[in-house]
Chains A and B, each alone.
Chain A
Amino acid sequence: MGELTSARQVTLEGSESGFATTKLEDLLGWARKYSLFNYPFVTACCGMEFMAVSSPRYDFARFGAEAPRFSPRQSDLLWVVGTISQRQAPVLRRVYEQMMDPKWVMAFGTCASSGGFYDNYTTVAGIDKIIPCDIYVPGCPPRPEAVFDGLMLIQDKITSGNRTPAIVKPRNDPATALVKLRASAEGAVLEGKRGRRDEEPGR
């Protein structure tokens, strides 16, 4: 059982019998959030990472999303895992259309999000060209942590009812690592100069 956010608190009144008051949509959102039925549309190498996420080591069952449903009619989260070719596009579109509302879509990996490095005649440059997409998980393939960030983002969006597409941010900003790297490189250069000056005291 996850905790509910303070703004949408379930208040317990009475004592031993115990009942809760909440809004219906909040209750539904809370229920949906922890019982996502997945439709894995796995087409490419990201599938290996999907297997890692779904298997015991990382285990997305902890988020209540362990049940894969290989019928789109029974599922409410569509995982598009991997490259979508132009030839597959109608299939994906049809799978999405067959899912029942409410439904969410996750673009797993760079290829599903933007086409990745496939810049050619055969690849759909991002599934959002053909179906609405809620979460983009970047990475080639994404680490399981990134996928969990995406899954939790979806859960947040389910409770808040916000359908704006969102992107999973890196946990560590690579730019900061770059700044550190540059600083250390500059430091090395400065030290090198100082060393040379020490060797030639006469100049």
Chain B
Amino acid sequence: MSKLVLDKLKEKFGSDVLETHDQFGDDTAVVAPRAWKAACEFLRSDPALDFNLFVDLCGVDYPERSPRFEVVLHVYSVSKRHRIRLKARVGDAEGDEAELDSVASVWIGANWFERETFDMMGVVFKGHPDLRRILMYPEFEGHPLRRDYPAQKTQPLVAYRTEEEAGLAVDKVAPFGLDEGMSFGRRILQAKDN
């Protein structure tokens, strides 16, 4: 059962399917970004595949890789009872040119997930009906789930009270040690200070 989907994809898109594996029935295909939308439309419309349920779409940042980001899509077929994971790799080392076609027109559920991926990772989905930030506020600069964003760096919308105003130490120490919490974020901040 599981081979069918990958075989059909490979047959249809040839060299645009960069790699596949189906370990433990876990079908995965990496497609070239230019074939992304066509592959999605094929998955949705082919009667033998019939992927009619959108499950998830997210981004992963691999700073050491090139292309840097991986956009991961999970879809499921309610009628055929099979699922597939589709991946596309985009973006250069600086995180620019991370662009991919939007599949919100294929599965309407992808709309907010693409907004989230744009918000957190900075992947731009071309042809998206309303590509705005969804979790962070519009004033936020940068994309917080990128590995080079210091996890602790806040961008307050309201100016913090000064210590004179508050009459007490406002900058409290976190209730845990330096090696706990988001220690990786702290390391990046310290490195930037030095």
Contact = CB atoms under 8 A, between A and B. Distances in A.
- Among A87, A90, A121: residue with most chain B CB under 10 A: A121
Contact of A120 (B135, B176, B185): B185
A53 interface: no
A120 B137 contact: no
Interface string A120-131: 111111101111
A104 to B, nearest CB: 16
A114 interface: yes
A115 B182 CA distance: 13
A116 interface: yes
A86 B137 contact: yes
A119 B156 contact: no
A126 B175 CA distance: 12
A142 to B, nearest CB: 14
B144 interface: yes
Interface in B152-166: 152-158, 160-161, 166
Contact of A121 (B144, B170, B172, B174): B144
A91 to B, nearest CB: 10
B176 A128 contact: no
Contact of B175 (A110, A128, A130, A165): A110
Interface in B46-79: none
Interface in B118-164: 135-137, 144, 149-158, 160-161
A31 B22 CA distance: 72
B106 to A, nearest CB: 30
B160 A86 contact: no
B181 interface: yes
A182 interface: no
A120 B174 contact: no
Nearest to A116: B175
Contacts of A114: 172, 174-175
Contact of B166 (A121, A122, A132): A132
B161 A129 contact: yes
A124 B160 CA distance: 10
B148 to A, nearest CB: 13
- Among B135, B149, B160: residue with most chain A CB under 10 A: B160
Contacts of B157: 86-87, 89-90
A73 interface: no
A130 B172 CA distance: 14
Given A122-B144, A132-B166, A117 B181 contact: yes
A27 B58 CA distance: 60
A165 B167 CA distance: 9
Contacts of A8: none
B168 interface: yes
B137 A130 contact: no
A191 to B, nearest CB: 34
B177 to A, nearest CB: 11
A128 B161 contact: yes
Contacts of A93: 158
A141 to B, nearest CB: 15
A130 B176 contact: no
Contact of B168 (A123, A125, A128): A128
B65 to A, nearest CB: 24
Interface string A124-162: 111011111000000000000000000000000000000
Given A86-B156, A120-B182, A130-B158, 5 more contacts: A117-B181, A121-B150, A121-B155, A122-B144, A129-B156
11 contacts: A89-B156, A93-B158, A114-B172, A117-B176, A119-B174, A119-B185, A121-B150, A121-B151, A121-B154, A130-B158, A132-B166
